[in-house]
Amino acid sequence: MSGGKEMMQSSDSAISTSRWLRQLLGRAGRFTLVGGLATLVQYLLLVVLVELAAMATVLSSALAFTLSAALNYLLNFYFTFGGGARHRQALPKFVAVATIGLATNTLCFSLALLLLPYLLAQLVATLITLIGNFLLHQFWIYRESQWNS
């Protein structure tokens, strides 16, 4: 009898883990979609600021990142993470992560700009910043016990 009970618990645990993994992958997909949209807005702003406003590239990159971060926050809060956290809890954490992201983006952009045209430099900076941003969003900003247990 004891073996059957252990097998059921093991089966329930496997189902729970499988469900958690599917939910995490779905959330990662939504995070990627939102990030893609915010990145598109960031790149469009970057091009407009550099090409039309003749603003310095590093300043343009930082400003475009900052403006697209507001869109990113709202879409991630409601769409990706389902508004499970409160704004007063999530927003200060998001601002901290966005500040880290801005610093990472600006540093990587500045360094890549030494070797690459500004749009390719921005691509390098974006890729480097993406991974850290997802991990901080998932496990700190929008942390829910069901996602982090």
Instruction: Check whether 46 has a pLDDT greater than 70.
Output: yes
Q: Predicted confidence band at 132 (pLDDT cuts at 50, 70, 90)? A: confident
Ordered DSSP codes for 86-111? -HHHHHHHHHHHHHHHHHHHHHHHHH
Token digits of residue 75? 């879409």
Query: pLDDT tens-digit profile of 77-108?
Result: 888 877 667 888 888 888 998 999 999 999 99
Separation between Cα atoms, residue 144 and residue 6, nearest integer Å: 28
pLDDT at 26: 87
**pLDDT at residue 8 in the model:** 53
**pLDDT at residue 47 greater than cutoff 50:** yes
Give 3's contacts (C-beta < 8 A, 6+ positions apart).
none
Looking up tokens 């090409």, which residue turns up? 51
The helix/strand/coil state of 84 is coil
